[in-house]
Amino acid sequence: MTSQLSMCWLGTMPYQQTWHNMQAFTQQRTSDTADELWICQHPSVFTQGQAGDIKHIGQIGDIPLVQTDRGGQVTYHGVGQWVFYPLINLTRRNLGVKAYVQLLEQVTIDTLSRYDILAERLEGAPGLYVEGMKIASLGLKVKRGCTYHGLALNTDMDLSPFQRITPCGLSNMQVTQVKHYQPNIDADHVATTWSDLFCRALNDRTPRTQV
């Protein structure tokens, strides 16, 4: 069993290309394929989850909408938002889906605390929140015990497109970002912090190989 995790910085990548690459990676991987963490940003796009309700989509204008296979409702991705796609063999790491979601949430909480931002979970509202406003969204797909899709963290972006939708299906939900609380934030540093904390947390949860 391998607990290796490869980190891949993809830069700014079109959403559909990234999604299809994740699908292909997951379909082709074997029990020996090392896990990977893809880190990127996307040009402006709305994405609708597999069970998404069209009522949450407003006048989206010239921003494309992609129907995808993750869980959750509609959300927005744009430059200045970091998206983390952990491609993880949950079975091999003895991680259940609920524990994995909690790990992603806790890594985000711990990351934001490094910048003196207090994020929290809200009952019945997936994602992470600061002062009741959404700062991170979460949507996953698990296939043959392996996960793709992941978590989006609003860092230093134009938040106005969120006004065209009901983000994640939560009425009257406002969104926020790291820059609101730390105006001089180094966005790359935020991504590096999240990635480092995720690797550490994942390794702490992974059983050691028996020799």
Q: Phi and psi (nearest 5°) for 147?
A: -110, 145
Say which of 40, 146, 168, 199 is annotated catalytic: 168
Whether residue 46 contacts residue 75, with contact meaning beta carbons closer than 8 Å, is answered with yes
Residue 162's identity, in one-letter code, is F
Token pair 């985000």 is found at 108
- 168 is an active site residue: yes
Own/partner long-range contacts of 13-21 (Cβ < 8 Å, ≥24 apart): 13/40, 13/41, 13/42, 14/42, 14/43, 14/45, 15/42, 15/43, 15/45, 15/47, 15/66, 15/77, 16/66, 18/42, 18/85, 19/66, 19/68, 19/69, 19/149
Q: Which two tokens stand for residue 133?
A: 């406003």
Residues 114 and 44: their CA atoms lie apart, in Å, by 28
Contact between residue 63 and residue 164 where contact means Cβ atoms under 8 Å apart: yes
Half-sphere exposure of 123 (CA within 13 A, CB side): 0
Which positions are annotated as active-site residues? 168
